[in-house]
């Protein structure tokens, strides 16, 4: 079992599951990450908004267990060329993040090394 307390003091808890997780991009390609552990929430505090889950994309292992998180598993299974990825948030999320409300989307680049870029990302 697992439980977590977030910075906003909301909480979630549940059991671990294991399955093949499929991620698709804008083309017809699909990444299939096999033997992926994930948390199945069965209790959570009120987040104040509709939600359907959280995909953990932080360090390779969670603090709660020694199970690899999804992107670390994809790298280990040689499903991606480089250990980096981007995330796109739609306008609703960018407003919540206090970004420009006129923006159509927000992109974030994640990589294991912070010294790859010689200039700030914008």
Boundaries of every domain in the chain: 2-81, 82-122
- What is the per-residue pLDDT across 30-41, written as a single tens digit (0 to 9) for each? 788 899 888 787
Task: Return the top range by mean pLDDT from 19-23, 65-69, 103-107.
Answer: 19-23
Is 4 or 26 the better-scoring residue by pLDDT? 4
The whole-number average pLDDT for the span 10-19 is: 85
- Decide if 44 contacts 21 (C-beta within 8 A): no
Structure tokens that stand for 75 in this block:
């790298």
**pLDDT level of residue 105 (50, 70, 90 thresholds):** very low
- What was the pLDDT predicted at 67? 74
Average pLDDT, the chain: 67
What the block records as the tokens of 7 is 């910075």
**Pair 28, 49: CB distance under 8 Å:** no
**Least confidently predicted of 2-16, 71-85, 92-106:** 92-106
pLDDT bin (cut points 50, 70, 90) of residue 94 is very low
Locate tokens 């990825």: which residue? 85
State residue 121's pLDDT score: 47
Contact 73, 61 (CB under 8 A): no
pLDDT above 60 for 20: yes
Q: What share of the chain is helix, strand, coil (3-state, %, to 5)?
A: 10, 40, 50
């Amino acid at each position: 079992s697992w439980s977590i307390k977030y910075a906003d003091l909301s909480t979630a808890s549940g059991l671990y599951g294991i399955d093949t997780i499929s991620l698709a991009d804008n083309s017809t390609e699909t990444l299939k990450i096999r033997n992926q552990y994930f948390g199945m929430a069965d209790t959570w505090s009120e987040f104040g908004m509709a939600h359907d889950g959280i995909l953990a994309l932080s360090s390779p292992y969670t603090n709660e267990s020694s199970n690899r998180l999804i992107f670390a598993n994809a790298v280990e299974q040689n499903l991606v060329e480089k250990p980096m990825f981007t995330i796109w948030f739609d306008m609703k999320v960018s407003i919540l993040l206090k970004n420009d409300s006129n923006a159509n989307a927000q992109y974030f680049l994640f990589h294991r090394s912070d010294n790859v870029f010689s200039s700030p990302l914008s």
